[in-house]
Amino acid sequence: MSNERDFWNPDNLVEGEEVKSIGDGGFTDPIASNKVISAFFSKVYGWMAFALLLSGLAAWLTGHNVAIQQTLFTGYTPMVLFGIELALVFGIGAAINKLSASMCTLLFVIYSVVNGLTLGVIFLAYTESSIVSTFLVTAITFGVMSVYGFTTKSDLTSWGKILFFALIGLIVATLVNFFLKSSMFQFIISGIGVLVFVGLTAYDTQKLKALAFSANDEESMTKLAVYGALDLYLDFINLFLYLLRFFGNRRD
């Protein structure tokens, strides 16, 4: 499970640049504001879709290649891959202001491929038809909540701390159940996980909508878009994995 998703710090993107709210900082013209937001989210969703495609292809290849499976899922390799994923996510977050847009993009692509390789294990545990159907359910759920976060007039800022602590509790509960191996506890964890990442999808979308105005040039806009795509990508992947535990049909 990819829980490396609560990493956003808007101060990392543009030094000394205050994050503007919609309508602030010279963006009082609704048409100009809409153009900025539209251009930004086109980049965000475009990069997110590309990352999901790369991860899907890498996962499918892993799930259908015994040699790759033997290489990735033996010894300390899984731990190494997980360490690489953590390093990439938190590394991008920590160095976002120092990295070029092209380097941010490259690291995001590498992360998508590595994460896809580790996700290949789902093809060994679940039938392909249930994986596809769960992916479609995830896409619809994600889309609905992202649209809600984008269009709602309600301020979802208060969700941030609640969802953050819920996420921490989710990680702790998952670690505890690793030793307990309780199917009932796992069912409860999965249900909470779905709710948490449904909420995070809406929250992160609204957050990114406001952050669209913090970029003052094309370079910073691209970096912010790639970072936003990574944020939403992690929401999508985690939502998919938790839903798969409900809708996935396990192989005999």
Tell whether 113 is covered by a domain: yes
Residues 106-120: what's their mean pLDDT? 96
pLDDT reported for residue 6: 41
Cα–chain-centroid distance for residue 127?
24
Question: Nearest 5 degrees, angle CA 199-CA 203-CA 205?
Answer: 120
How do residues 8-57 score in pLDDT, each as one tens digit?
444 444 443 444 443 343 444 555 588 889 999 999 999 999 999 999 99
Is there a domain that residue 3 lies in? no
Q: Is residue 8 part of a domain?
A: no
| Structural domain span for residue 37 | 17-247
Return the SS3 of 252. coil
Domain-embedded: residue 99? yes
**Nearest CA among 233, 216, 157, 226 for reference residue 36:** 216
Is residue 171 assigned to a domain?
yes
- pLDDT value of position 32: 56
Does residue 153 sit within a domain? yes
Q: How confident is the model at residue 59 (pLDDT cuts 50, 70, 90)?
A: very high
User: Do residues 123 and 248 make contact, with C-beta atoms less than 8 angstroms apart?
Assistant: no
- Split at pLDDT 50, 70, 90, the class of 137 is very high
Cβ atoms 33, 244 nearer than 8 A: no
43 within domain boundaries: yes
pLDDT digits (tens, 9 = 90+) for 230-250: 999 999 999 999 999 999 999
pLDDT at 39: 92
Residue 47 resides in a domain: yes
Q: How many domains, the chain?
A: 1
